[in-house]
C-alpha cells in the first residue's frame, strides 16, 4: 500500500487509472492467499514473505498490463466520447433521455449532434443505454430526436449518486432480456 499510494497522486504514473489501482492492494493480498493455498494446500500456516513478494511481482506485471490497456482505451475517440456521455449520465441520473438532451447539455464536448452517434452506439453496445421508439407520433417539422432508456445498473457503482438502485452489472440489457 505504501508503494502504491504515492503513485496515485496527480502527475504520477497511476493517477489516470486510480480507480483500478485503488483495488490493487486487495487484489495482491488475494493473489498471495491463492499462491499460499496452491503451495501448502491449507490455510493453517502464515503466508511467507516469499509468497507475498511473488504476489507483488504478479501485481507489478498487472500494473504494466493495465497501463497499456488503459492507454489503448484512452486513444480511441469513440471510447472517450462514450466515457463523457456515461459520466454525464452518472452525475445527473435520469431514466431516459433524447439525443437532443445529450447534445444540448454536452455541446462543449460534442459541437454537432452527429458527433454523439458513435459514443451513443458504444454505450448501446455495452448495455448502458438502449434506443426506444419515440412515444409521440410523427409530426410535421423537425424529426423526433432518438430516445434512449438508461440501464438502472449504470448508476449502481456510482458513489456520487445517493439514489442508487440495486447493484448489478452495468453491461446487462437496459430493460432486461428481450423475448
pLDDT in tens, 141-175: 777 889 999 999 887 654 444 444 333 333 333 34
Same domain, 124 and 83: yes
Last residue of a domain, one of 51, 74, 97: 74
Judge whether residue 78 has pLDDT over 80: no
Whole-number average pLDDT of the chain = 81
Give a yes or no: residue 162 inside a domain: no
Q: How confident is the model at residue 68 (pLDDT cuts 50, 70, 90)?
A: confident
Number of domains in the chain: 2
Q: Locate cell 428481450: which residue?
A: 178
Domain that holds residue 93: 77-155
Residue 159 φ/ψ, nearest 5 degrees:
-70, -15
d(CA 163, CA 5): 30
Rounded to whole angstroms, how far apart are CA atoms 45 and 43?
A: 6
Mean pLDDT (whole number) for 96-121: 93
- Which residues, 6 or more positions from 154, have their beta carbon under 8 angstroms from its beta carbon? 86, 89, 90, 128, 129, 170
Is residue 60 domain-resident? yes
* Whether residue 178 has pLDDT greater than 90: no
Residue 179: the pLDDT is: 33
pLDDT of residue 72: 72
Looking at the fold, whether 22 and 63 belong to one and the same domain comes out as: yes
Amino acid at each position: 500500500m505504501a508503494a502504491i499510494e504515492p503513485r496515485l497522486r496527480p502527475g504520477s504514473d497511476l493517477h489516470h487509472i486510480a480507480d483500478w489501482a485503488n483495488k490493487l492492494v486487495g487484489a495482491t493480498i488475494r493473489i498471495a492467499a491463492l499462491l499460499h493455498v496452491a503451495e501448502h494446500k491449507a490455510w493453517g500456516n502464515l503466508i511467507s514473505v516469499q509468497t507475498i513478494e511473488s504476489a507483488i511481482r504478479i501485481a507489478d506485471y498487472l500494473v504494466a498490463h493495465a497501463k497499456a490497456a488503459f492507454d489503448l482505451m484512452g486513444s480511441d475517440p469513440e471510447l472517450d466520447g462514450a466515457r463523457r456521455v456515461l459520466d454525464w449520465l452518472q452525475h445527473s441520473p435520469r431514466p431516459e433521455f433524447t439525443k437532443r438532451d445529450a447534445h444540448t447539455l454536452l455541446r462543449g464536448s460534442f459541437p454537432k449532434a452527429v458527433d454523439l452517434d458513435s459514443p451513443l452506439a458504444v454505450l448501446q453496445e455495452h448495455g448502458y443505454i438502449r434506443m426506444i421508439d419515440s412515444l409521440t407520433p410523427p409530426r410535421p417539422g423537425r424529426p423526433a430526436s432518438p430516445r434512449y432508456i438508461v440501464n438502472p445498473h449504470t448508476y449502481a457503482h456510482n458513489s456520487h449518486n445517493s439514489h442508487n438502485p440495486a447493484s448489478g452489472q452495468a453491461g446487462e440489457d437496459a430493460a432486461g432480456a428481450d423475448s
